[in-house]
Structure 1
């Protein structure tokens, strides 16, 4: 375990799935954790009681709400953007509004949150974005726009790493493959199809993603920045 006592952490999108695992891990490791949620109020309140963390309702699709959430929690030692949404389908048929919302949540939110956090983040701060292996590889039809958002995050992290590097603030992207969450359960209808691409033929566990985040946020990762960290069971190999 990493010692995060005295560290202030904000996790955007923390009420379920990978986000909830992040909240549990950083709270367990002693951090002062605040996390946001959009629609899962009951789950958020239960998680807060379980972990001793604080909650804040905020819509990741709303730029002003994202910036205000970060501002209200600053100065931060660690920002983790876990909020994300998924819209799959034939690009000739999928609703344009669904695509625009996905871009708002998956691209604009991490950018504006990172910039706002960096305004007051101390030297040696950490910014971590939860991306996706689909930023590197989209092996099935219907995922063009989703892959677009995850590839965009890669370029953003590389650029912000240079922008904030003189203050020893690191910016990294974690790229999970199929991970067992409510949105993508290990026993779901697509599991066999996805496991066919993988070297380790199972879904990842949210706790495994959180463990990688804890390493990247810890003192041993101070020289790692502008990098993509794939944790996908060989999905993209």
Structure 2
């Protein structure tokens, strides 16, 4: 078995730009000096993970610090995409490569040029050991939002390119709300409460031909009594927005 790796962008680089912004926001929220010890980020959910660029960033950052003898709470990374093939053929290989080239991986310091990585049972065992040493659990979910049951609250929730379908907005909001700790906008801003969730959604302003977009999503958020803050906006070319959202305690 081998994984091919290289460097590319899609949609003229805009989607990747949004995802890197999301990853940077994660570093600001849950770590210092862009290092993310396992004890600080316990649960992260990624809805519509695609190539999982923010998750790879976070995953690699966890390995920047040495493994601790005792970790009280595991780090759980849940990656969700409609297509199972995306998870098995894109997401998992990208996470594996993120570990391989990290500070704790056997590829540390190697020149990162496009190529192929041969994966054998010994390398898989090293990967599993690295996860066990840092108490990292990876979970993968495929299918529509209606069938998705994550069953845990998350410290961080990321979602990108998931608001294009009008018929799925209600189900998407249900999943987002179920994974977020009830958090007031003020507490989300200060982060003083440990049980808060940073929930970021990146999307185009309008998806031509399918009817979805930011306005329709905001309407659904207001219907579910969510609050929202625009954290990032691109107005030139294809309009794009990154929203922080949440639901206040009742």
Structure in which a larger fraction of residues adopt helix:
1
- How does the TM-score come out when normalised to structure 1? 0.48
- How does the TM-score come out when normalised to structure 2? 0.46
Structure in which a larger fraction of residues adopt strand:
2
Structure having the higher Rg:
2
